[in-house]
Amino acid sequence: MTRRIVLVASLGFSLTSLTASADWLHYRGPTQNGVVAESLPAPLPKNIKRLWKVNVGTGLSSVTVQGDHAFTAGNRDKRNDILVCLDTKTGREIWRYQYPQALEAKYFEGGPRSTPTLDGGNVYWVAQYGDLFCLDAATGKVKWYKHFQKDYGGRRPDWGYAGSPTVDGDLLLLDVGGESASTVALNKNTGAVVWKSGADAAGYGSPVVTDLNGKRVVLVFKARAIVAYDVKDGSEQFRSEWKTDYDVNAISPLVTGNSVLISSGYNTGAALFKAGGGGLERMWFQKKLRAQMNTPVVAQGHVFGMDGNNGGGNLVCLNLADGSETWREKSVRGGSLVLAGDKLICLSEQGELVIAEASPSGFKPLLRNQFLDGRSWIQPTLSGGKLFLKSNTGDLACVELK
């Protein structure tokens, strides 16, 4: 594949000026669980100001933020994928990396699925066919490049690679799906292989690093199982089989304490597993939460998530202890959500921003505002009082919540 880099000069960009406290470096936020410590103003302003709106190309890539720079990906003109760096104050494009790639819609709009991961001065990104890029965050220049299929024998999932790279120390962790390299750990600085493990087909979520039973593991939601590997050497620690129609296991594992929650759409359901000496013990399973794409969040001993396939789901609240349904809100249809302090930030499939209390006692909306037109499956991002909302066709709105 022929590639070319299109660069736009960045004036005054300095990595030393980045504000780490507000950075949103990974698809699932600072702690990979959809939760940000940043609090929303109280009371919320009646009229939220939209700072800017641009189109970054079709695709499901969410937004990551480092200092005053936002990163995301899309497809332009149905023939080129682009990874862009934008000024968070104005939406101005700072640089763009571009290469030829057909849009390839398949029961959805198409385009890139993965979200860029930021670490120091690097941007890591996986394209839908398994192209893995490490780029300079300041210039967009490629530092090193690998390919999931050509380098590791990866088997591309039916809807393309969608998981985002995960950084842990000097490791870059990837769900590749190779027969002898299901999960791969690379040196994040050079791209050299540190370890390869397993033979499972890849899922669509992102690897999550956590401590379970006193051991640091990486959890990967594969096509047919949830698997934990020792981060140091890739040895498998435990697994639990999980079958879903079309092998669509797309959320990232949700860690809460010493337990892990997974969920899938296609009428599959959700389960909570507790990590023990013998592996994963299933605490409960039920079909009240069938999260097809967006990972739920946990607050006040309850799970909040989007039930059902996008287009037909509702916002639901479950008791974390036993999985019983606490409440269900039919006015929030499909879409995605994150948690800021004690507030849910939801972006419905119809592009409506809904901010509500993360309360087990019932749905308590604080704000509703239509910011986007067209289908919106993409997780919102909150950084430094700015909220980034994106539609599947690439309209990206930045609104001020200070």
* Per-residue pLDDT tens digits for 95-109: 999 999 999 998 899
Q: What is the pLDDT of residue 1?
A: 41
C-beta of residue 122 within 8 angstroms of C-beta of residue 136: yes
Q: What is the pLDDT of residue 21?
A: 53
Q: What is the pLDDT of residue 186?
A: 98
Q: What is the pLDDT of residue 269?
A: 96
Is residue 10 assigned to a domain? Answer: yes
Q: Is 20 helix (H, G, I), strand (E, B) or coil?
A: helix
As a whole number of angstroms, the distance between CA 234 and CA 209 comes to 12
Is residue 383 assigned to a domain? Answer: no
Is residue 17 assigned to a domain? Answer: yes
Model pLDDT for residues 348-402, shown as the tens digit of each residue? 999 999 999 999 999 999 999 999 999 999 999 999 999 999 999 999 999 998 7
Q: What is the pLDDT of residue 310?
A: 54
Return the H-helix or E-strand segment holding 295: none
Model pLDDT for residues 208-240, shown as the tens digit of each residue? 999 998 899 999 999 999 999 999 999 999 999
As a whole number of angstroms, the distance between CA 257 and CA 275 comes to 10
- The phi, psi pair for 101, rounded to 5°, reads -160, 125
Mean pLDDT to the nearest integer, 278-294: 93
Please state, for a pLDDT cut of 90, what percent of the chain lies above it. 86
pLDDT of 119 over the 90 cut: yes
Please state, in angstroms and as integers, the Cα–Cα distance from residue 237 to each residue in 81, 206, 215, following that order.
37, 18, 10
Is residue 292 assigned to a domain? Answer: no
Q: Could you tell me the CATH number of the domain that includes residue 61? A: 2.40.10.480
As a whole number of angstroms, the distance between CA 124 and CA 106 comes to 25
pLDDT of 270 over the 50 cut: yes
Is residue 141 assigned to a domain? Answer: yes
As a whole number of angstroms, the distance between CA 392 and CA 55 comes to 10
As a whole number of angstroms, the distance between CA 381 and CA 66 comes to 12
Query: DSSP state, 202?
Result: P
As a whole number of angstroms, the distance between CA 126 and CA 184 comes to 13
Residue indicated by tokens 């505002």: 369
What dihedral angle (degrees, nearest 10) is formed by the CA atoms of 271, 275, 280, 282? -40
Is residue 94 assigned to a domain? Answer: yes
Q: What is the pLDDT of residue 49?
A: 87
Q: What is the pLDDT of residue 276?
A: 85
Which structural domain, as residue segments, surrounds residue 117? 1-44+56-150
Is residue 318 assigned to a domain? Answer: no
Q: What is the pLDDT of residue 279?
A: 85
Q: What is the pLDDT of residue 309?
A: 72
As a whole number of angstroms, the distance between CA 373 and CA 164 comes to 26
Position 180, amino acid: S
Buried b / exposed e across 178-209, counting CB within 10 Å, b at 16+?
beebbbbbbebeebeebbbbbebbbbbbbbbb
Mean pLDDT to the nearest integer, 270-280: 90
Q: What is the pLDDT of residue 213?
A: 86
Query: For the chain, how many structural domains are there in total?
Result: 1
Q: What is the pLDDT of residue 200?
A: 98
Output 37-46 pairs: Cβ under 8 A, ≥24 positions apart: 37/341, 38/340, 38/341, 38/382, 38/383, 38/384, 38/385, 39/340, 39/341, 40/340, 40/341, 40/343, 40/345, 40/355, 40/401, 41/401, 41/402, 43/366, 44/355, 44/366, 44/367, 44/401, 45/401
Model pLDDT for residues 122-176, shown as the tens digit of each residue? 999 999 999 999 999 999 999 999 999 999 999 999 999 999 999 999 999 999 9
Q: Is 340 helix (H, G, I), strand (E, B) or coil?
A: strand
Q: Among 33-47, 107-121, 149-163, 251-265, whose mean pLDDT is lowest?
A: 33-47
Is residue 321 assigned to a domain? Answer: no
